Structure 1
C-alpha cells in the first residue's frame, strides 16, 4: 500500500493533513476529550449516589449526554480535518473530461433527458414505463387489487 503522504507530495498537493492535529492537538479538543470520561463516570456514579441521580435525571443532563457522546465529539472535531483533507486533494482536468464524453453518457439518459431508470418514456425503467400495463398511466392498466 503506497504511503499517503508521499502520494500527496508527488501529485503536488503538499502535505497531507494529520487527523491528530484536529482531533487531539487543540486545547479545546483536549478539554472536551478530558470532560467526556468525567461526565460518563459521573453518570455511572449516579446509580450509587442520589445527589448525582437528581442531576442526571434532569433535562440539562439530557443535553449534556448528547454533547459528551464520544462519536459525536469525534465527528465535530474531525470536521476541520475533513475540510483540509478535501482541499489537499489535487484537482485534475483529466478526470472531469472523462465524464463529459458523449459516448459515455449517451446510454445513461432516456428520451426525455432523465436517467433511464426513472424515465417513463424509456422501456428500461421497468414498471415506470408508460407502455407497461402495470403502470397506472397506461390505457390498458387493470387494477388487480379490486
Structure 2
C-alpha cells in the first residue's frame, strides 16, 4: 500500500505567472509612457480648438506624427512586449512557428504575370501606353 501523503513532486518549481498590471502600470517607464500619452492627447484636443490660421504648422505636423507614438495600440504593444516575454519564460505560453504561406494556385490565363494570359500580361504591347 502506498502512502499518498508523502508523494514526491517530480516537476521543478516554475516561476509565478506574471500579471499584466506588473508590466502595464508598475514600472517607471510605463508610468512615464501613460502620463506622456495622456498629456499628448490633452494637448491635441486643445490644439484642435485653435483656428487653423493661427496654428504653428511645425507644431501641428509634429503632433500629427506623434499620433503613431502615442496611439493606444502602440502603447499596449510597447509595454506588452515584456509581459509576453515573461509569459513565455514561465512556460505558460508557448510560441509555435506558423506554417509556410502558400501562393494560391492561379489560372495561367488570368494571371497578369504569366505571358500565357495574352492581353492581361504586364508586358504586352497593347497594355503599354505612352
Q: TM-score, normalised by structure 1?
A: 0.49
CA distance in 2: counterparts of 1:52 and 1:29, whole angstroms: 34
Structure 1 residues 72 and 84, CA, compared in 2 at 3 Å: closer, same or farther?
same
Partner of 1:22: 23
Partner of 2:78: 76
Structure 1 residues 14 and 52, CA, compared in 2 at 3 Å: closer, same or farther?
farther
The correspondence of residues 52-91 of structure 1 with structure 2, limited to 5 A, is: 53-54=55-56, 56-58=59-61, 60-89=62-91
Partner of 1:39: 40
Is the 8 Å Cα contact of residues 23 and 29 (structure 1) preserved in structure 2? yes
Matched residue count: 91
CA distance in 2: counterparts of 1:49 and 1:76, whole angstroms: 31
SS in structure 2 of the partner of residue 65 of structure 1: coil
Which ranges of 4 or more aligned residues in structure 1 deviate by more than 6 Å? none
Mean CA deviation greater in 82-91 or 71-80:
82-91
> 5+ unaligned residues in a row in structure 1: which ranges?
1-9, 92-117, 119-127, 129-133, 137-142
Larger RCO: Structure 1 or Structure 2 (Cα < 8 Å, ≥ 6 residues apart)? Answer: 2
> 5+ unaligned residues in a row in structure 2: which ranges?
1-10, 94-101, 109-115, 117-130
The correspondence of residues 50-129 of structure 1 with structure 2, limited to 5 A, is: 50=51, 53-54=55-56, 56-58=59-61, 60-89=62-91
Question: Which has the larger share of helix?
Answer: 1
